[in-house]
Structure 1
């Protein structure tokens, strides 16, 4: 994915200052200087500051008490973790690093990619054995050159049987071979009796420099004399805004009556691009609030409204469809700006959400350095610690947030390993469900599918769910 270096400029520098602590800085011992940075930074920027008593401005009566508090936390990491609000349910995403150079490299897109994306599941009847399913193959990549295809199943990497302890490390190799397997559902809807058998084909994948186009697939489908636009969009990346606008220009020229926006694998990105996409879907709400970015009480003067617009950032006129209803496909990989899209649009038009429950993350993050204004310039040369805390949250026009548990779909229909289908094909299960609802076949009453557990094999890491602001 094309991310460049903009991820470290998620918010406009807001004149951060440590001035209120300057009188006591000389009393901070050298051994706790990093912990001093952690506490003061979190005291200024952390979104959930008001929920953490130890971050209150009047928490310490003296410098000695503050020093004792820092000393009571063995490491900077321990202190940071102690300042996180409800790690299990609310803030699952803030983290600290001891090497911001590595973090910057990850966020700048300086990574290798073989063009394949996978979902992983526990083998039925086991508690530790794992198998993978190919969910996407990107064009012009190592995976596409090797003729890997969506829906293929594998149970070994480099001839090593996958389990819960090894599959992540095996995927980290720059080159590896997948041993394809056979998935047998025993001709039943029950998952517990499904079986995985070894196959006889091996596919080798090699990671290389690769730029992903987030516009993965588009189509116009004829349904009952009406035209339905379909778009699988996998990341909100502003470099592709003009190309996205061309897609909507085509939808508009073909006079589509319905739109299916597939965000099932979209884990976030640019707030500005999300606002532009919302404006393409609608068009009748010019200059009204699409979403509001809210900071903590210390920084609330930086709260900002993103309004529906008729132009892109380059002044290109937006192709708007003026729809009053949209279908959005989601999964447990839909996060951040994708969830913001659902939450913001539903306060204006009807949103029919089909698929799985989303991640539950609509907050923005920012790399925080040990410097006078918490920016990269003049960062303390004595260490390379940095923070990536949640600093703001998006709300819709009704001041509603995305629940930490995620957004529950209108139609709960999860991808099954036995039938992933082909993206864009009218028989692909999630797209088919949307088309059936458009045709009025009462898909809303369709029974929920049960996802294979545990779901946490496919949990997104914090870097995959970043929401950023140009």
Structure 2
């Protein structure tokens, strides 16, 4: 990727405020408040001016926005805080750029380390009713939720005694370090609260995104099943080992379960796609489209993961992908990028509609992590590219539509990886017509439902597709 015009500071410079860094205790918790706020906003504007993919739709980021240094300084002072200043710069169509006040926490989160209790859930409202409830999607092994006996399919309708309604502030209730959920169940078409509560406490938790993998015998065919919940680079070697097992067992088909996968690393998405295929090495995987400051760049299928290990490829010409509205960004990239090459059968519901990638930009001379400012701990994560498949298809704001529509049944979720589980069973019936249907009766729900929240919604990594910093011209 080549920088077309170097207008780094666009001939505007502020006075450099020399800090007494040696006088700042490492344990000070209000370092951001002690820092010069105008310097922080200066870093934010310059980073956005260079990298923001929607720069042309953000008037305050135009190269000719300011006639002189004083006008620029006045502009920085016009918004009261770095956070508000950052969001004031965004284009109207941008749903995903964000700023953090603690970049170390962000870095840990992107690597799968966070404060969590291990109960991954969705929040559902039955449309045109007041019924709101949470349902447990899965539980992280060894987590507090696992120890407390929480399992997939558990329904809850209150936290700390507060019953959910459409007006409930879920962020306030569920962001606490500890809370108690009140269980419920469906009786007929009604949601009924139970006299049973479970207390949960968050700890620093590392989640392996490879939640489940197995080989299923489907009427004599070997079918691989992989539930993959985030594209996290530190687990690439383990992911590659899963595909080595699939290859050794000679699977003929693969069901890739991305129903709760909100995204992650673009590089890992490319690696996973190369594991599924392998016969397209050297060809275009996807196209990265930047703002006018940079040339577009092709991503290429290759035969190595980030550790330089050879990729274990299956050379498949068909893959079945399970999706919901929680399948976002890098999950959608895998589907979109593979579509021109192999038969991708998408089963479930529409994906989220996230086709932009971001990168972490720091307050340093070249916006990289190296030589980062010790004055504060802010970093920005702006959208810096749109990603298209080799045919140029992108811009799917409404998500990718499934080939076969199938919703989860909240009252009968089933076990992940079980051939009787609704979405997996639908894929297996497509692979082998006549495969046994679920033992429970599939019924049309009494009410239409809407996902109104989920456990990761306040996570900095939620629905993000991020770029390897090594691929950016810092």
**Does the alignment reach a TM-score above 0.5?**
yes
> Is 1:25–2:31 an aligned residue pair?
no
Give the distance between the partners of 2:60 and 2:309, measured in 1 at CA: 48
- Pick closer, same or farther for the CA change 1:380–1:14 going to 2, 3 Å: farther
Give the distance between the partners of 1:62 and 1:450, measured in 2 at CA: 63
Q: Secondary structure at the match of 2:114?
A: coil
Q: Quote how far apart the aligned CAs of 1:134 are.
A: 0.7
Q: Quote how far apart the aligned CAs of 1:297 are.
A: 1.8
* Number of the residue aligned with 1:55: 61
> Is 1:170–2:173 an aligned residue pair?
yes
* Number of the residue aligned with 2:33: none
Give the distance between the partners of 1:99 and 1:254, measured in 2 at CA: 45
Q: Quote how far apart the aligned CAs of 1:33 are.
A: 4.4
Q: Quote how far apart the aligned CAs of 1:383 are.
A: 4.9
Q: Quote how far apart the aligned CAs of 1:23 are.
A: 4.8
> Which residue of 330, 338, 344 corresponds with 1:345?
338
Unaligned runs of 5+ in 2: 18-35, 469-474
* Number of the residue aligned with 2:461: 463
Coordinate RMSD, CA, aligned: 3.3
Give the distance between the partners of 1:369 and 1:227, measured in 2 at CA: 47
* Number of the residue aligned with 2:412: 419
* Number of the residue aligned with 2:231: 236
Q: Quote how far apart the aligned CAs of 1:384 are.
A: 4.6
- Pick closer, same or farther for the CA change 1:13–1:447 going to 2, 3 Å: farther
> Which residue of 125, 130, 133 corresponds with 1:131?
133
* Number of the residue aligned with 1:114: 117
Give the distance between the partners of 2:101 and 2:278, measured in 1 at CA: 46
Q: Quote how far apart the aligned CAs of 1:469 are.
A: 3.7
Give the distance between the partners of 1:276 and 1:109, measured in 2 at CA: 18
Contact persistence 2:127–2:449 (CA under 8 A): no
- Pick closer, same or farther for the CA change 1:16–1:364 going to 2, 3 Å: farther
Q: Secondary structure at the match of 1:217?
A: strand
> Is 1:357–2:360 an aligned residue pair?
no
* Number of the residue aligned with 1:96: 99
Query: For each residue in 1:52-105, what CA deviation from the matched residue of structure 2 results, as whole angstroms up to 9, or x when unmatched?
Result: 23322223333454455445545544443332122xxx4211123455565456
- Pick closer, same or farther for the CA change 1:157–1:26 going to 2, 3 Å: closer
Is 114-123 or 434-443 further displaced after alignment? 434-443
Query: For each residue in 1:324-347, what CA deviation from the matched residue of structure 2 results, as whole angstroms up to 9, or x when unmatched?
Result: 111101111111211110010001
Query: For each residue in 1:345-378, what CA deviation from the matched residue of structure 2 results, as whole angstroms up to 9, or x when unmatched?
Result: 0011111111121112232222323333223455
* Number of the residue aligned with 1:40: 46
Contact persistence 2:418–2:424 (CA under 8 A): yes
- Pick closer, same or farther for the CA change 1:159–1:35 going to 2, 3 Å: same
Give the distance between the partners of 1:24 and 1:213, measured in 2 at CA: 45
Is 48-57 or 149-158 further displaced after alignment? 48-57
Q: Quote how far apart the aligned CAs of 1:380 are.
A: 5.0
Contact persistence 1:16–1:44 (CA under 8 A): no
Give the distance between the partners of 2:240 and 2:104, measured in 1 at CA: 35
> Which residue of 136, 161, 167 corresponds with 2:163?
161
Q: How many residues align?
A: 442
* Number of the residue aligned with 1:396: 389
Give the distance between the partners of 2:4 and 2:196, measured in 1 at CA: 58
- Pick closer, same or farther for the CA change 1:231–1:97 going to 2, 3 Å: closer
Give the distance between the partners of 1:49 and 1:162, measured in 2 at CA: 40
- Pick closer, same or farther for the CA change 1:110–1:238 going to 2, 3 Å: closer
Unaligned runs of 5+ in 1: 1-11, 187-193
> Which residue of 201, 214, 219 corresponds with 1:219?
214
- Pick closer, same or farther for the CA change 1:171–1:71 going to 2, 3 Å: closer
Is 53-62 or 332-341 further displaced after alignment? 53-62
Give the distance between the partners of 2:70 and 2:141, measured in 1 at CA: 60
Contact persistence 1:263–1:338 (CA under 8 A): yes
Q: Quote how far apart the aligned CAs of 1:32 are.
A: 4.6
Q: Secondary structure at the match of 1:275?
A: helix
Give the distance between the partners of 2:390 and 2:132, measured in 1 at CA: 43
Give the distance between the partners of 1:370 and 1:16, measured in 2 at CA: 21
Please show how residues 352-391 of structure 1 align to structure 2 within 5 Å. 352-379=345-372, 383-391=376-384
> Which residue of 145, 149, 152 corresponds with 2:151?
149
- Pick closer, same or farther for the CA change 1:158–1:15 going to 2, 3 Å: farther
* Number of the residue aligned with 2:22: none
Please show how residues 291-302 of structure 1 align to structure 2 within 5 Å. 291-300=286-295
> Is 1:311–2:304 an aligned residue pair?
yes
Q: Quote how far apart the aligned CAs of 1:216 are.
A: 1.1
TM-score by length of 2: 0.83
Is 62-71 or 395-404 further displaced after alignment? 62-71
- Pick closer, same or farther for the CA change 1:31–1:315 going to 2, 3 Å: closer
Give the distance between the partners of 1:131 and 1:140, measured in 2 at CA: 25
